[in-house]
Structure 1
């Protein structure tokens, strides 16, 4: 008797070159965690540990050794897990400097506790009774490629478009936004942009001012993180609301979270459980943001459908009608087949579709 865990490596293959200001993705390694009772291994919970290269604070060369160490420790403890002790176990078992591993264990345990049916939270979303509005993501690339993506997202019914900027010529990026605005008013299409810290402090306000001509809803992380005074000043003066993203990574202490948001005073924060240390840390960010009247939305961080499923179900626990960043399920040739389906700008859980979990057998 006692819970055990195994991990599996899976290399996700992108359907196209996914460009950001930090580089281009063509494939991505991810790690699945399978938690089960040794006396009944047919019932198991799945989680995903999916660090992002160059961004996750646990993007270590020896990541697989660290993951194996966490699994060995878990397997040696002969644990019994209940709803009341899961966060205690996670806090003592896994260091906050390993956010992706903590998220993987957390969601695998929640899945197991709910019967090993990929149900992380038994809510209206997973029952197929509620959908989640999401934005359509436009990756960086040539102007022609970016325009092609814009056309595709609009044709598929998205009314919020998020465009990654900062890699191609800024004037070309502005011309793409201008083209959208010439055809669609702010009432028809909401525009978000994500700079991933690509602007220098010196140029940031001028560039954001130019972006404001196109009625931009928000800009994510215009300058690199860890420039708190400069970000605070930018939030005070920017004509476009600023959303913090990378700025939150590595901030795990509750008081430090509060101090950071009170000082910078962003309009929004972006929550990525894989990068922030799991769902419990996201709960803390949401609670603090709500008290400070700061908006938020959830975003996946290139996980497979295993991680995306957990994030979507967690998101559905809140009455947040802002479009979420959960449209990454169709990025890969070899994703895990699941009931998650994007249609008409929304993420749905279609009960008639089954999970294909053959790689875990």
Structure 2
């Protein structure tokens, strides 16, 4: 079955401005992949390449040119894909420094291998029998806007909230956390915060001490990546458990992954398959974290429902009891219709609903 791959760019528009410490997002471009079998008309697999501006190592001016090169190489090889050669194909066709393309190609190949039904992983979630527990994400914004987001997420049944910090006044961010904690004990509502590396070395310890008053579950990436000596100290001594996120981006060699986690020894790591190079690389991080007794959870990275679906099904296979970060499918006004639904703080795959996918 010689496979052929094509792609199409898609601009996703946010329902409202999404604030992060790296700026405000109003739209995002993803490149949708479709793999087809020339000998089986109608059999297709879908994937998504969506590098995050300013964060992905393949956020490059010539990204589309490199994607074209990958597709051309793929199409020149008359490939068949099976479980035993999937990794070989990825290693030969997609360079390591293009993690989002690797994620997209891997997702599309897994999809077509499983019959082209948008079920790249077989588990109870994909069959609509179970949901995946999620955190409700609170984007950066004005005090009133962030407070309104908190109220909305609580009304939707979320029991874990993740709040972006580091963009507005730190005291105002603390007031929001204080408001939630004054009404809900940590046994009722779990609070996570994500600094996206916004805290400075000279004040990070003081800010962590202040944040510890709110019984937080964890803080993601309190300082910028690459400051290993300071980060190791924070992982050891912070009154708020540290979760590494950006620190993992761009590390593809297994031995380097192990050395990094061994050196920093964080309580948690956050795994974004689009940024890490797909599911095989994500699985390596999980295997190492389990060996070193480091907690982990998986987070989407502003993918459309195509990428989110693959990540959710992969995540469900692990039965990880921690809330996952998979709620971004609701962000866009022009997302692809899919069976994915959020109900009472869980993500579900509603088998009664179908897909509306782009023609490529």
For Structure 1 versus Structure 2, the TM-score category normalised by the shorter chain is: over 0.9
CA offset at residue 360 of structure 1?
Answer: 1.8
Match of 1:69 in 2: 69
Q: What SS class does the counterpart of residue 301 from structure 1 fall into? A: coil
Distance 1:81 1:355 in 2: 24
CA offset at residue 258 of structure 1?
Answer: 0.5
CA offset at residue 348 of structure 1?
Answer: 0.4
Distance 1:45 1:57 in 2: 25
Q: What SS class does the counterpart of residue 236 from structure 1 fall into? A: helix
Distance 2:219 2:89 in 1: 37
* 1:145 and 2:145 correspond: yes
Match of 1:203 in 2: 203
TM-score (norm 1): 0.99
Distance 2:101 2:2 in 1: 20
Match of 1:19 in 2: 19
Distance 2:44 2:139 in 1: 35
CA offset at residue 38 of structure 1?
Answer: 1.8
Match of 2:359 in 1: 360
Runs of 4+, deviation exceeding 4 Å? none
CA offset at residue 234 of structure 1?
Answer: 1.1
Q: What SS class does the counterpart of residue 186 from structure 2 fall into? A: coil
Distance 1:217 1:360 in 2: 43
CA offset at residue 353 of structure 1?
Answer: 0.9
Match of 1:189 in 2: 189
For 1:237-256, what aligned pairs fall within 5 Å after superposition? 237-256=237-256
Match of 2:215 in 1: 215
CA offset at residue 40 of structure 1?
Answer: 2.7
For each residue in 1:273-315, what CA deviation from the matched residue of structure 2 results, as whole angstroms up to 9, or x when unmatched? 0000000000000000000000000000000000000000000
Distance 1:11 1:309 in 2: 18
Deviates most, 36-45 or 312-321:
36-45
* 1:267 and 2:274 correspond: no
For each residue in 1:150-206, what CA deviation from the matched residue of structure 2 results, as whole angstroms up to 9, or x when unmatched? 000000000000000000000000000000011111011000000000001111111
TM-score (norm 2): 0.99
Q: What SS class does the counterpart of residue 56 from structure 1 fall into? A: coil
Q: What is the RMSD of the two structures over their aligned residues, measured on CA atoms? A: 0.7
Q: What SS class does the counterpart of residue 7 from structure 2 fall into? A: strand
CA offset at residue 45 of structure 1?
Answer: 0.1
Match of 2:53 in 1: 53
Match of 1:84 in 2: 84
Match of 1:114 in 2: 114
Match of 1:288 in 2: 288
Count residues with an aligned counterpart.
360
Distance 1:258 1:350 in 2: 38
For each residue in 1:317-356, what CA deviation from the matched residue of structure 2 results, as whole angstroms up to 9, or x when unmatched? 1020100000111000000110000010000001111111
Q: What SS class does the counterpart of residue 360 from structure 1 fall into? A: coil
- Return 5+ residue gaps in structure 1 as ranges: none
For 1:115-194, what aligned pairs fall within 5 Å after superposition? 115-194=115-194
Q: What SS class does the counterpart of residue 223 from structure 2 fall into? A: coil
CA offset at residue 39 of structure 1?
Answer: 2.9
CA offset at residue 122 of structure 1?
Answer: 1.2
Distance 1:287 1:37 in 2: 33
Match of 2:8 in 1: 8
- Return 5+ residue gaps in structure 2 as ranges: none
